[in-house]
Structures are given as C-alpha cells and as structure tokens.
A = this chain, B = another copy of it.
C-alpha cells in the first residue's frame, strides 16, 4: 500500500470521512463516482479530493472516476482498519461504558480485549464482550496480552501513574478522554485526544459570535 510519512495531518483526518462516505455510497448501490460528485456530497472541492487521494498514489481514472468499492478498500488499508490492534479500556464509568457498547472496534482497526475499573460495584459486570476487571490485574494482563492501545476514560487525576505503568508495558498509543496531556511526558506516544469539554466550549464561542453579530 502506498504510504507517505509527509502526508499532513489534515489530509489524514479526512481519510476516515472519505471511508465513511464511500461506505454509504456502496450501501446505496453506487459502484463508481467522479471527484466532482464526491465533492458535492462532501463539501470539499473536486481538486482538493484529487489532491488528497493523490497523496497515496491516486486511484482515479480520467473520465471514469473512482471505483467506490476499490477506493474504500484502499483507504481502509491505508488507515490500517484490518489490523485489529489489541485495545484496553481504563475506566468503566459513563463514557467507558458508552464506548464499549457503541464503538464497532473490529471495523475501526481494533480488538477490545479488556476493561478495567477500580470500583468494586463495577468490577465483574458484563460490558459489551468483556467482564470488567480489577485494575490490580493490569500488570499481569499486560504481561500476558501485550495490549498496544489504551482508552483513557478515567478521572484525569488517576491518569498519570497509569500512563507510566502502561508505557513500561509497551502501550504506546492512547485514545485519551482525560485532560492529562500525555505527550508532554511521552513525546513519542501516539495520542488522539477527545476533549469533549473543549468541543462544546468551541461551540459556545461560535454561538456567541453569531448572537453578537446579530445584535
């Protein structure tokens, strides 16, 4: 598969969107599509789309457009969605539980292999495909199962010592819902932060700008 370390993060962030959208097209029975049609449905320019896809080798054919199924499969391959990286969830509270139940990990490149919590009320509960484990079992589990990725859905204050421990066990990628800034201590970690509070504060700003603009 064509890869390119110099591809910008903004291009990479668009790939899941292409992937999703091509899936919807497939479900609706489309087998090919031009970059112009893609652009109308995705709110990007056709030239932007051609540029994006050219970063990975260019899949289109002049005058024919893109084969929807092939393009989707190629983008899925670029993203690595067939990899099934072993992932653990730390924190089985509201968010951890929602992710365990809602995310289709196998379709997204991952394999959920354990959920940990500290709360005796929660430990032992069944959640998605897993039984919630006591956090005291984390070391032993890591030594046996070698998870690569951790979903951090625990209180921020609890995150730093656990990240230290996970890092020692070879967990180098984090889907981080806490506000602990992992890369400050571990610059080589792969971290995807999901700061829901920041997201809704940004929305607040946008609304305020609108309202003030109207006044």
Count of A residues near B, CB < 8 Å? 62
Query: In the bound complex, do residue B206 and residue A173 qualify as a contact, i.e. CB atoms below 8 Å apart?
Result: yes
A132 at the interface (CB under 8 A from B): no
Report the bound CA distance from A78 to B79 in whole Å.
37
A200 at the interface (CB under 8 A from B): yes
Report the bound CA distance from A192 to B196 in whole Å.
10
A26 at the interface (CB under 8 A from B): no
Q: A20-B179, A173-B207, A203-B173 are in contact. Are A196 and B194 (CB under 8 A)?
A: yes
Query: In the bound complex, do residue A175 and residue B199 qualify as a contact, i.e. CB atoms below 8 Å apart?
Result: yes
Query: In the bound complex, do residue B13 and residue A202 qualify as a contact, i.e. CB atoms below 8 Å apart?
Result: yes
Q: A43-B183, A101-B94, A173-B206 are in contact. Are A201 and B85 (CB under 8 A)?
A: no
Q: What residue of chain B has the Cβ atom nearest to residue A203's Cβ?
A: B192
A146 at the interface (CB under 8 A from B): no
Which of chain B's residues have a CB closer than 8 A to the CB of A175? 199-200, 203
Which of chain B's residues have a CB closer than 8 A to the CB of A42? 181
A110 at the interface (CB under 8 A from B): yes
Q: What residue of chain B has the Cβ atom nearest to residue A213's Cβ?
A: B5
Which residues of A line the B interface, CB within 8 A? 3, 5, 12-13, 15-17, 19-20, 41-43, 78-81, 83, 85, 93-95, 97-99, 101-105, 108-110, 148-149, 172-173, 175, 179, 181, 183-184, 190, 192, 194-210, 212-213
The 10 closest A-B pairs by CB, nearest first: A109-B204, A80-B208, A94-B98, A16-B198, A16-B201, A192-B203, A98-B98, A190-B206, A79-B205, A80-B204
